[in-house]
Amino acid sequence: MPKLNILNQAGETVGNIEVSEHVFGIVPHQQALFDVVNAQRAAMRQGTSKVKSRTEVSGGGKKPWKQKGTGRARQGSIRAPQWRGGGVVFGPTPRSYNVKLNKKVRNLAFRSALSSFVQDGKIIVLDNLVSENGKTKEFQTLLNNLNVSGKTLFVNNAFDGKEVRAGQNIPTVNFAVTNHLSVYDVLNNKNVVLTVDAVKQLEEALGNE
């Protein structure tokens, strides 16, 4: 089973933890990662874009001019698409962009993302994440102690608010709770910092097929 060092907030190694090979030690499945990220990005789309067709714009009930004898092209309505103020052809209408994926594929993608970060040395395990006063300076010191740079995701089972308040002013810091963590959240960051409690809960959630 893979072993990860456990660090404290001073950046010191205080022990190690054996993590599940089924969750943190598999060969990443690239197709599953692509499919799940694609589905999650599609689910973020509101799908509320709307334009009016020629049946919905106002006016145009009367034929602009008679069919023959004017020398001009025949027209049936001033709200036809070729007219200014006319309806739009094949324009967007409200729709759902949700993509259906099997639970096993989502599970495989999640485990692939975590395993990929472990293999690249981008996962850090913290013994605990506590902020004394909720100050940004304090959280920046934590980042320096952990020697991380770039977008970093902190994952815990729950946050009491001080940690989030301390880190929310740092543009590269993101937070997620384990029961709302997604594959996209993981892959959209350069580093992932997990508490020991978060590791255990992820193993419990993803450990069984």
Helix/strand/coil for 112: helix
For residue 59, what pLDDT is reported? 86
Q: Taking residues 173-201, what's their average pLDDT?
A: 94
Structure tokens at 10: 């001073």
pTM here is 0.81
Which phi and psi (to 5°) does residue 142 adopt? -60, -45
pLDDT at 119: 93
- Alpha-carbon dihedral of residues 74, 77, 83, 89, nearest 10 degrees? -110
* pLDDT at position 209 over 60: no
Question: Domains in the chain and their CATH numbers?
Answer: 3-46+98-206 (3.40.1370.10), 51-91 (no CATH)
Residue 42: band (very low, low, confident or very high) from pLDDT cuts 50, 70, 90:
very high
Tens digits of residue pLDDT in 75-86: 999 999 999 999
What does the pLDDT look like over 94-130, one tens digit per residue? 999 999 999 999 999 999 999 999 999 999 999 988 8
Chain mean pLDDT for the chain: 92
pLDDT at 2: 79
Residue range 153-167, pLDDT digits in tens: 999 999 888 889 988
What distance in Å separates the CA atoms of residue 147 and residue 125, rounded to the nearest whole number? 13
At 160 the pLDDT is 84
CA dihedral 27, 28, 31, 37 (to 10 degrees): 160
Instruction: Provide, rounded to the nearest whole percent, the portion of the chain with pLDDT above 70.
Output: 99
Tokens coding 9: 């907030």
Per-residue pLDDT tens over the stretch 45-89: 999 999 999 999 998 888 999 999 999 999 999 999 999 999 999
